[in-house]
A and B are shown apart, each in its own frame.
Chain A
Amino acid sequence: MLNAKMELIAEKIVKRFVHFLVLKNISFKVSSGSAIAITGPNGSGKTTLVKILCNLMAPTRGQVVYQNNSQKINREDIFQYIGLVGPYLQLYQELSAQENIDFFARMRNLKNYSARVKQLMELFNLSGREHDAVKTYSSGMQQRLKYVCALIHEPEVLFVDEPRSNLDQAGIEAVYSILQEQKKDKILVISTNDQEDLTLADQIIRVGVA
């Protein structure tokens, strides 16, 4: 997947929950080496849009297209290219951090990932806690571990919903270093209301704004 030219294209995305129209004709295109931010007031549909982009939710109308070197990626294979960190994504609480990492890495067909995991665990200051059950982690540590799980496969497209949530200053700095690195040659999609996060973006999509 290295040196691939990825494109994420949203075409006239509409999402309606019964009679409530959440997203109306959202269209954009983002390519490797750039970042896009999704912003808007609470309840405006930021998370809904992220879920649609990640293939976790179907849009009412419109479509999301992923292209790798101009070749459309099948919907079923998108998971190999994306990573997502969000407050609504939880890890398996009964399993240890290492068991969670192994599960997500093997599901993505990774083989030699121990060096990458070691590097990420050190970056997020989780070294030494690999064999503890996730339920013994604080909310901030769980948030850090979510980043580790989302980054093991070096995703071509990284989605981060509320990048600062539950993190202390050291955690925010670690996340920022990752986000800066991601936008250099891959795609970064941030959903946020924080003005500082918006400075990372090359494009800003405002949802819930008439």
Chain B
Amino acid sequence: MKQIWLIFLKDIQQEFKTRYAINAIMLFAIVTLSAVSFSIGAYTATTRVLAALFWIILFFSSMSGLSHIFIREEETQTADTLKLVARPSSIYLGKFFFNLILLILLEVILIPLFIAIMNFKVVSFQIFLLTMFIGNFGLAGGGTMVAAIISKASTKGALFTVLSFPILLPVLISGISATRKAAESVKLMDAQNELQALLAYGVIIIVASILLFDFVWNE
């Protein structure tokens, strides 16, 4: 646990000094949201369309920053230094928690802006916030693992989104469906299937990543 905490703190310290990942995802989110807003114009989109647009913005914004956590270690040649002092599972979990915080910060900015600009009316905040909270685990868990896989490749940026999409598709599908229900229904039970799917995916991807990370990280 101590190693996980120390790696997380080290990454926070580095991010605080460079602000690379946070700037990348925030700028991407704001630019994409503006582009979508201008494209739609006066057209009143259905909750189904708005929920899909929200998750597309969230997915691609997070893709612009989540991979940085491992790419930075490879590009600055600190990956071997880190390997030398840490257990693989601690490295994965430390990086996972950093990406989780990054996603939460993104959503703190993106959600109010999306609601205000796109006129998205959330009926059940309970469903909406639960969807975001549980969905974050799947997004951060899968994104962190894919980031570790692509960090050694030469075409990192493009590969990250392409590889992440099929892996994170269950989060997108369940997230879009649960977000739509948050805008249509007030009963938590109505979104039970989607929330269970998000939770199951999050647990599976994190456990599988912890088990497999040693093979990815050490060749």
Which A residues fall within an 8 A CB radius of B?
A: 51, 54-58, 76, 79, 82, 84, 88-95, 99, 103-104, 106-109
A89 engages B14 (CB within 8 Å): no
Known: A91-B81, A94-B14. 8 other contacts (CB 8 A): A56-B80, A58-B218, A79-B87, A90-B76, A94-B18, A95-B10, A103-B6, A106-B2
Measured in the bound complex, the distance between the Cα atoms of B13 and A92 in whole Å is 11
Provide the B1-31 mask, 1 if CB < 8 A to any CB of A, else 0: 0110011001001100110000000000000
A106 to B86, CA, bound (A): 11
Q: What range describes how many residues of B lie at the interface?
A: 20 to 34
Is B108 among interface residues, defined by CB-CB distance under 8 A?
A: no
Q: Which residues of B contact A82 (CB under 8 A)?
A: 84
Contacts of A79 in B (CB 8 A): 84-87
A-B contact count (CB 8 A): 58
- Residue of A92, A107, A109 near B78 (CB, 8 A) is A92
Q: Is B39 an interface residue (CB 8 A)?
A: no
Give the 4 A-B CB pairs with smallest separation, nearest first. A90-B77, A107-B85, A94-B17, A89-B81
For the complex, give the distance between the alpha carbons of A172 and B80 in Å: 24
Q: Is the CB of A90 within 8 A of B81?
A: yes
Say yes or no: A103-B10 contact (C-beta < 8 A), given A56-B84, A91-B81.
yes
Q: Which residues of B contact A55 (CB under 8 A)?
A: 83, 218
A109 partner, pick from B2, B14, B84, B218, beta carbons under 8 A: B2
